[in-house]
Amino acid sequence: MQDLYVVAHPHAEHTAQDIVGGWHNSVLTPAGRRDAELIAEELKRRRTGTSRPIHITSSDLERCAETSAIIARTLEVPATTDSRLREISFGEAEGRPNSWLAQRQVPAPDDNRLDHRGPVAGAETRREIASRVGECVRELMTDLDHDHIVVTHGFAHTFVISAWLQIPVEAAGFATFATTPGAITHLRHDDYWRNRTLAQLADTSHLDCGTMS
């Protein structure tokens, strides 16, 4: 069996400030750093009893890199960053109030889900983010000697899963695997039957434990 854990970075400053994220390079809030510690401890717990080495790959944006560094320190393994795991770019909206984007954003029509760009200059399409995230994940899939942890963003999370399940980009126009800040998604590859299982989607029970303590 090979395990892949997809971590959605915990709360970051742009969310607290109600501004558009995307490629805007905000850092974790104090609560986000606390949650990153809880994520790291949960991943350590889940790996108890396994001798398989693990590789951590993170978006290079600070809120993800900070999360992966905390996980790496707890698991005592190195972490690398990859810009292909970034969130979707919102172009000129990034760093502006969310209300500014809401006044201009136009939902993608059903017949153009993948290539709709909308009126915001510099924004990415669904096809563009799915393609770059998918390229990164497919490279990770060739490394069968390791389990993997991927630290990414809320929207990008969908395309980590769809690529790992080998769903073609052309078929991902409507796919969404919803997550929340600090959640862990568990993907498992059966190396005998070759099945790829979405074992757990966006689990946050480890954060609930931290709130209760």
Q: Could you tell me the two tokens for 44?
A: 């350590």
Q: Could you tell me the two tokens for 104?
A: 């201009």
Model pLDDT, residue 208: 87
Residue 185: partners with Cβ closer than 8 Å, 6 or more residues away: 5, 6, 7, 8, 157, 161, 177, 179, 198, 200, 201, 202, 203
Model pLDDT, residue 212: 41
Per-residue pLDDT tens digits for 31-50? 999 999 999 999 999 999 99
| 77 φ, ψ (degrees, to nearest 5) | -135, 155
Model pLDDT, residue 180: 98
User: Around Cβ 112, how many Cβ atoms within 10 Å?
Assistant: 12
Model pLDDT, residue 197: 97
Model pLDDT, residue 102: 96
Model pLDDT, residue 119: 94
Per-residue pLDDT tens digits for 88-103? 999 999 999 999 999 9
Low-confidence ranges of the chain (pLDDT < 70): 209-213
183 near 202, Cβ under 8 Å? yes
Model pLDDT, residue 210: 57
185 near 198, Cβ under 8 Å? yes
